[in-house]
Chain A
Amino acid sequence: MIHFLEIANRMLFHYYLACNLAYLVMLIIALKTSAEHQHGLRSSPAGWLKDTPLAPPVTILTPAHNEEKSIRVSVRNLLDLDYPELEVIVINDGSTDGTLRELQEEFQLRPVRVVYVPQVPCARVRKFYRSRVDPRLLVVDKNSAGSKADAVNAGLNAATSPYVCVVDADSVLERDALLRIMLPVLTDPKRVVCVGGIVRVLNGSETAAGRLRRVRLPRKGIEVIQVVEYLRAFLIGREAWARANMMTIISGAFGLFRTDIVRSVGGYRAAAIGEDFDLVVRMHRYLLEKKADYHIQFVPDPVCWTEVPSDLHSLGRQRARWQKGLLDALWRSRDMLFRRRYGRIGCFALPYAWLFELASPVIELGGFVTIGLAIWAGVLSREFFLQFLVFGYAFATVISIGAVLQEELTYKRYNDWQDVVRLLSYCFFEHFPYRQMHMVWRLQGMVQYFRGDLAWNAPKRQGLRTTAAP
């Protein structure tokens, strides 16, 4: 028993060391990549693309389910994006409120027939509408199948452009978002098959008519912690994975895909819980099986702002759903693990996701149990335990502050001194008790998955509206 506890605690120590070292390596790679990206922007600004008549057309796909409060502003903003060849498809996913009516009033929709090839499966489409005031807008009215993936698939069937950009209806995009996300495609059109955009936290910022006016840090601590999390995930994690062409997730809130490849893999899987992760892994599989030379890119410029849960209950549900989605997608792609055919994805990215993302709440729980047992058996070295705690805390803080540093060195969107000091202070506060709560939510997600509870719990949101700073 004592021997087992010693081994377990030692393994736990090495697990945390490996996890933090991996993040440290990613931080270093991300800092280097960001610096290069910043220099690149000086010689290759996105603006030149705005004036070229040869820019490849892009179709924006925006699924909308009961979005009557914000749909006018959202769609107006999408149509106002800077891009020369743009089509916007709003998919009214069986809304039971006045979403369609709002669209009809604002954009003077009229029923039309369009080329619709049901190449990827989705629920029945009822009607198509095109705007009289802006013919670039097409509305697909369909029955709801209860998932965002199904709605996006309907839009994918109706899209006529070589690239589709999936955008959440409640996201706020910067005006040059499409230009920026298209730049990697234009630099290497043969290899780049999809591009992920960074998603930043909207809560607390000032918006007017659906546009971001001033970036501020949210007031609630729970939201600020999520800002730190998003910075760490995007500015460190995704930046580094993309550098190694091993990105396995493109945020559902804002991502650009080559239409033919998404159609070839059958579009989004309607039953998937984490449809964004699931799609990218399937794209990797498809392209690696075809032995294609491809690249999945990431654009770190702040382009998409989204609202995050502002109460513990919603946040818990969201994190449980993310964990379910991760488990679901990883389980379905388990045959890719350690197969030479799937290259770096099968041998590195997916094992990393299994070990350090999926298994981490289980291992953390295991750690708490073994420590508890060690205390009970009287074999725990208090000094070692304390040192381990301090080390874990200090190291994790380095990573979080590193993410803030990355933001400071590159994009610097939080201009207020007060915001920066608060952001830095939350790098120290997020570890207790938030991290432990996070572990519980993720464990709940796994339990729900094994119980077969695969429902998509939409988080509670405020919706787009004009907000002013206090």
Chain B
Amino acid sequence: MATALARFSGWGTAGLLVKAIVAAVIADALLLGFILLRRAYRNRYFAERDARVFEFRRNWKALISGQIPYGTWRTNHVARQIVEDMALDAYEAAGPEESLRLLNFLRASGLVAKRIFEARNHRGWRRRQALVLLGRTRASEGIPALGEGLRDKDQETRLAALRGLGRMASPQAGQEILHWVGESGVRVPALPLQSALIQCCAERPGLLLPYIRHGDKAVREIIGRVLGEIATPAMGEDLLEFAGDDLDELRAAVARALSHARSDLELETLGELARDAVWFVRLRAVVSLGKLQAPSAIPFLLRGLTDSNRLVRLRAAEALMNFQTEMTAVFRQAIALQDLYGLHAYLTALENAGLEKQLEAELESARWTDKEEAEKLLNVLHTRKLPVELPGLAQHAPLRTAARP
């Protein structure tokens, strides 16, 4: 071959071309051959794999109970992978009793130990795959190996370890993540970290509090957001200490977490947060006030209608739609604010909620008691313009804000 090609070297450009043609034709043939051979091989491989899956499925009970010796399939790579996949898939859909049995099987057959070994000793994608699979086993002995994965210098590996710990969904796994975050700061993108923490700390959100108190800015921001998602009503008082925090994100997280507020103090704090200097803190507070669906939140929501930020006004107006029994009174108060932007936000929310007709009917029926005022209110509803004055408005009884649900 080399001699044949050497003969072309004396031909100049033409020789170069001939060499190139030969190379291209060989490349074509190799590529074609590779594609076709690979296809044939894969077809055979999948047919065999399918037969094995069927065989394992038939003997599934004997397999996981250990009646079939583990040694018959563990040493074969393909068989081991099939059994592991089948066991993990079944594990994810299993009830508590079946889960325990499958976990025992994964432990007894050495599959968990093997994944722990791989997670510690392999590198690159093999390690990442082992970390994720280890997480799927939810075996607590895998947590230290996953913790080591978190400390890897490669971000992809850290992410895989984080996902593995997230899949564990246990407070111990949460502790491992928090410990690592406290020790080395935020070294992964925020969302996977937050997702993993939400999964792991949902049972015990209190785990997060020390890290919010003592973590650096980035850590506090991220953990605050997680807290906002999983805080329980019982945490109300703990949250209050962060309501005056310097960190905007943390105040916003507190506002979100207080959507379960029960005490007057918590409601007042939420009201304060609805007056925060930062718009997204106010927005979160207004949304939380809306979720409370308590008449005592109405004054704060009415104040939200006059907010300088359009989104806050809109959310406040949407939240006010929850108080359908107070609709006329709320409408009257919204007009009394004398804020055209607020009025438009209210009327838009009314229209979007399909409650315009209901309010109109209520105002029509109110004509019997106070014709002049009812007509003025109806006029505002139809023209979307503020009246110059609304006589008698001040004399009306305030909303039932004192009552608690």
A and B: real partners?
yes
Q: Which residues of A contact B (CB under 8 A)?
A: 13, 39-40, 42-44, 48, 51-56, 110, 112-113, 115, 130, 186-189, 381, 383-384, 387-388, 390-391, 394-395, 397-398, 401-402, 404-405, 408-409, 417, 420, 424
Q: Which of chain B's residues have a CB closer than 8 A to the CB of A54?
A: 191, 194-195, 198, 225, 229
6 contacts between A and B (CB under 8 A): A13-B13, A43-B159, A56-B191, A112-B352, A384-B17, A408-B38
Q: Which residues of B contact A (CB under 8 A)?
A: 13-14, 17-18, 20-21, 24-25, 27-28, 31-32, 34-35, 38-39, 124-125, 128-129, 131-132, 156, 159-160, 163, 166, 189-192, 194-195, 198, 225, 229, 310-311, 314, 348, 351-352, 354
Q: How many angstroms from the CA of A420 to the CA of B38 in the assembled complex?
A: 12
User: Contact partner of B21 among A13, A53, A55, A391, CB < 8 A?
Assistant: A391
Query: Nearest chain-B residue to A35 (Cβ)?
Result: B125
Contact across chains for B195 and A398 when beta carbons are under 8 A apart: no
Contact across chains for B189 and A384 when beta carbons are under 8 A apart: no
Query: Nearest chain-A residue to B347 (Cβ)?
Result: A113
Query: Nearest chain-B residue to A54 (Cβ)?
Result: B194
Given known contacts A110-B354, A404-B35, A408-B38, A397 and B28 CB-to-CB distance under 8 angstroms: yes
Contact across chains for B314 and A398 when beta carbons are under 8 A apart: no
Q: Which of chain B's residues have a CB closer than 8 A to the CB of A13?
A: 13
Q: Which of chain A's residues have a CB closer than 8 A to the CB of B24?
A: 391, 394-395, 397-398
Q: Which of chain B's residues have a CB closer than 8 A to the CB of A44?
A: 128, 132, 156, 159-160, 163
Shortest Cβ gap from B10 to chain A (Å): 15
Task: Return the 6 tightest CB-CB contacts between A and B, nearest first.
Answer: A394-B24, A43-B128, A39-B125, A52-B195, A43-B160, A387-B17
Given known contacts A43-B125, A384-B13, A387-B17, A420 and B35 CB-to-CB distance under 8 angstroms: yes
Q: Which of chain B's residues have a CB closer than 8 A to the CB of A39?
A: 124-125, 128-129
Given known contacts A387-B17, A391-B20, A394-B21, A402 and B132 CB-to-CB distance under 8 angstroms: no
Given known contacts A43-B160, A401-B28, A420 and B129 CB-to-CB distance under 8 angstroms: no
Given known contacts A391-B24, A398-B24, A42 and B194 CB-to-CB distance under 8 angstroms: no
Given known contacts A397-B28, A420-B39, A189 and B189 CB-to-CB distance under 8 angstroms: yes
Interface of B is mostly: helix
Shortest Cβ gap from A192 to chain B (Å): 10
User: Contact partner of A417 among B18, B39, B194, B352, CB < 8 A?
Assistant: B39
Shortest Cβ gap from A384 to chain B (Å): 6
Query: Nearest chain-B residue to A160 (Cβ)?
Result: B311
Shortest Cβ gap from B340 to chain A (Å): 15
Q: Which of chain A's residues have a CB closer than 8 A to the CB of B17?
A: 384, 387-388, 391
Q: Which of chain A's residues have a CB closer than 8 A to the CB of B194?
A: 52, 54
Q: How many angstroms from the CA of A64 to the CA of B31 in the assembled complex?
A: 42
Q: How many angstroms from the CA of A39 to the CA of B132 in the assembled complex?
A: 12
User: Contact partner of B132 among A42, A130, A391, A394, CB < 8 A?
Assistant: A42
List 12 additional A-B contacts (Cβ < 8 Å) besides A43-B156, A54-B229, A110-B354. A44-B128, A115-B310, A189-B190, A384-B14, A391-B17, A394-B25, A395-B24, A397-B28, A402-B31, A408-B38, A409-B38, A420-B39
Q: Which of chain B's residues have a CB closer than 8 A to the CB of A42?
A: 125, 128-129, 132
Q: How many angstroms from the CA of A395 to the CA of B17 in the assembled complex?
A: 11
Of B20, B38, B129, B156, the most chain A CB neighbours within 10 A belong to: B20
Q: Which of chain B's residues have a CB closer than 8 A to the CB of A408?
A: 35, 38-39
Contact across chains for A113 and B125 when beta carbons are under 8 A apart: no
Contact across chains for A401 and B35 when beta carbons are under 8 A apart: yes
Q: Which of chain A's residues have a CB closer than 8 A to the CB of B32?
A: 401, 424
Q: How many angstroms from the CA of A189 to the CA of B131 in the assembled complex?
A: 23
Q: Which of chain B's residues have a CB closer than 8 A to the CB of A398?
A: 24, 27-28, 31
Given known contacts A43-B156, A44-B159, A424 and B28 CB-to-CB distance under 8 angstroms: no
Q: Which of chain B's residues have a CB closer than 8 A to the CB of A43?
A: 125, 128-129, 131-132, 156, 159-160, 163
Contact across chains for B189 and A188 when beta carbons are under 8 A apart: yes
Q: How many angstroms from the CA of A53 to the CA of B131 in the assembled complex?
A: 23
Q: Which of chain A's residues have a CB closer than 8 A to the CB of B198?
A: 52-54
Q: How many angstroms from the CA of A52 to the CA of B163 in the assembled complex?
A: 12
Contact across chains for B35 and A405 when beta carbons are under 8 A apart: yes
Q: How many angstroms from the CA of A40 to the CA of B125 in the assembled complex?
A: 7
Query: Nearest chain-A residue to B12 (Cβ)?
Result: A384
Shortest Cβ gap from A448 to chain B (Å): 36
User: Contact partner of B31 among A52, A186, A401, A420, CB < 8 A?
Assistant: A401
